[in-house]
Amino acid sequence: MSWFEKARCGLGRGPFGPLFVLFVCLSARGLGQTYNDFSYEVSGSNVTITLYRGLGGAVTIPSSIPGVGSVTSIGVNAFRDCYSLTGLTIPDSVTNIGGGAFADSGLASVTIPDSLTSIEDNVFWGCSNLTSVTIPSSVISIGSDAFSYCTRLTGVTIPDSVTSLGLYAFASCSSLTSVTIPKSITFIMPGCFSYCTSLTSVTIPDSVTNIGGYAFPNCARLTSITIPDSVTFIGDQAFTSCTSLTTVIIPDSVVSLGALAFAYCTGLTNATIGNGVTSIGASAFDTCTSLTTVTIGNSVTNIMGDAFYYCPGLKAITVDPQDTAYSSLNGVLFDKSRSLLIQYPADLIGPYSIPNTVTSIQTNAFAWCEGLTTVTIGNSVTNIGDWAFAYCHSLTSATIGNSVANIGGRAFAYCSVLSNAMIGNSVTSIGDLAFIGCFLTVSVTIPSSVTHIGNLAFDGCTKLTSAYFQGNAPPSFGQGVFDAAAPGFSIYYPTTATGWTGPNWNGYAAQPYVYTPPEQLPALVLLRGLEAITPSFSNLRLGTNYQLQVSDDLNTWSNTGLAFTATNATEVYPQTFDSKLKQLFFRLESPP
């Protein structure tokens, strides 16, 4: 706004100091014809007020200008930025108010005459003192941003005559507590009530078929919403960050649920998705931190990525058995054939073995599963998606089956207590940052099948002392793969392998060792007695010193068992263990 425009409302300062009131008639929009405090234009006998030039306060717009004609229109931006304007009386002769007419003014209350049929775009935009407005039943449309940023507006009644609400019509009306949408509305336009942070209730009539994207986001005090069974579409981010919303039932009429539709609804505890829904958008329930159960109907054919990402309270996802594209088993979400594991509920506690039907683990499938303690990935799985197990802070052990070819980027990132990761012998690629921040991992074995290790794959594994490679040097080796490992960290490579150099390789200490193929490694069999378990070993190397270690959680290992020197290839251990203990794990260590 120029200093000329500010001056007309008695607020201005010119480039050389305060302006004298004499200059209030000057404006960047021009003087035109004037009457009292108004500039105007004439078309036939119809007068349009183009500019208010007065000092504000309560203003009455004349119904006519003597000898000229009736005032029928208030022009675009006519009262814009009149901060000193407090009240306004609009005569019944006015049939049109131009866009932005009262925008960013000090208007506190207004009565719109019943001669008006349309409230144009931005008419009351930014009227931060406006507390009430009466919309007559003559109005059939309310334009885009018509009342947006009216931050003191506490209530509004939209008459049944209104058939159209524009984009962001009431956006950021932060004091608005309730709204009733009339039955004449069929489409709640995008952004219509966005950031109405005091809104506690909203009534959506059964005439509405479409709730547009961003319709109610950040309505932080909205505790409940009833979606009528006339609605077929809920747009992207329609209810994002409605943090007080506790329950949502999506009726069978809804066909499509948009991306981020209920994301960040941190108070939402359960969601029921009706039988008509065919598509659930990406991140639809992302970061619903209180969500415990999700029920999915029988028609869903497309669930986009991260639909239930970071729902740390989620205990179960249940899919109707009649759905042809998706299924659930023990609360875990799969595709229908259970070849793709899509989402593991984050609040399930304890170990998990992936079913042998699964061939791929989707991106983020187990991310932030704080209760997951161990995972066994069977030999049917070929792909572990990016971020698949990231931030599983209770995960101590991961067994990766011998069919897995790809471990995605950040697949096990920041699994801070992961001490044992067994990488299967079919893995060819370990993605960028795959095991970054696995602080308790002491040693890792890289099978000979691996040809690619991504950037920072094991970065920040601060207790990692050794990486045993079982084959040739990988032709693709990223930057900082083992950075921030434990002091004295070393790569060990087979004496018969190629591509390695010692005592350093790619910036890391490296030294050869005698590699024994897996089929020649010592094997353990447990001999069960009445109340005792006796370990028995085969494939022992004669004259080699061995130490049997025991653990009850795969995290802490102790040298409880006796050390011994192999005198035979097969030996029965000279010590028994109590079989009544809940669980025991054994491992045999020998010098490399």
Q: Where are the domains of the chain?
A: 1-176, 349-515, 518-589
Rounded Cα distance between 187 and 190, Å, is 9
| DSSP E strands, 292-442 | 293-296, 302-303, 316-319, 326-329, 332-335, 340-343, 350-353, 360-361, 372-377, 383-384, 397-400, 406-407, 420-422, 429-430
pTM score? 0.82
pLDDT number for residue 579: 67
340-343/372-377 β-pairing: unpaired
Q: 299 and 322 in contact (C-beta within 8 Å)? A: no
Rounded Cα distance between 193 and 142, Å, is 13
Pair of tokens at residue 157: 């009644």
Span 385-414, pLDDT tens digits: 999 999 999 999 999 999 999 999 999 999
Rounded Cα distance between 404 and 421, Å, is 13
Task: Assign domain 349-515 to its CATH superfamily.
Answer: Ribonuclease Inhibitor (3.80.10.10)
Pair of tokens at residue 31: 């003087």
Check the CA dihedral 106-129-172-231 and report its sign: negative
Q: In 3D, which of 170, 178, 116 has the Cα closest to residue 145?
A: 170
DSSP annotation string for 111-176: E--TT--EE-TTTTTT-TT--EEE--TT--EE-TTSSTT-TT--EEE--TT--EE-TTTTTT-TT-
In degrees and rounded to multiples of 5, residue 8 shows phi and psi of: -65, -20
Cis peptide bond N-terminal to 503, omega within 30: yes
Residues of the chain scoring pLDDT < 50? 1-30
Q: 466 and 490 in contact (C-beta within 8 Å)? A: yes
256-257/233-234 β-pairing: parallel
Check the CA dihedral 293-299-301-304 and report its sign: negative
Burial of 524 (0-12, 13-18, 19+ CB in 10 A): middle
Q: 122 and 142 in contact (C-beta within 8 Å)? A: no
Rounded Cα distance between 11 and 106, Å, is 12
Rounded Cα distance between 585 and 553, Å, is 8
In degrees and rounded to multiples of 5, residue 518 shows phi and psi of: -55, -40
pLDDT number for residue 589: 81
CATH classification code of 518-589: 2.60.40
- Rounded to the nearest angstrom, the gap between the alpha carbon of residue 448 and the centroid of all alpha carbons in its chain is 38
pLDDT number for residue 592: 57
Q: Token pair 């303690």 is at which residue?
A: 373
Task: Assign domain 1-176 to its CATH superfamily.
Answer: Ribonuclease Inhibitor (3.80.10.10)
Q: For the chain, give me the number of helices (H) and strands (E)?
A: 1, 53
Sheet holding 316-319, edge to edge: 247-250, 270-273, 293-296, 316-319
pLDDT number for residue 10: 39
Check the CA dihedral 9-11-17-18 and report its sign: positive
Q: Tell me whether the CATH fold assigned to 1-176 matches the one assigned to 349-515.
A: yes
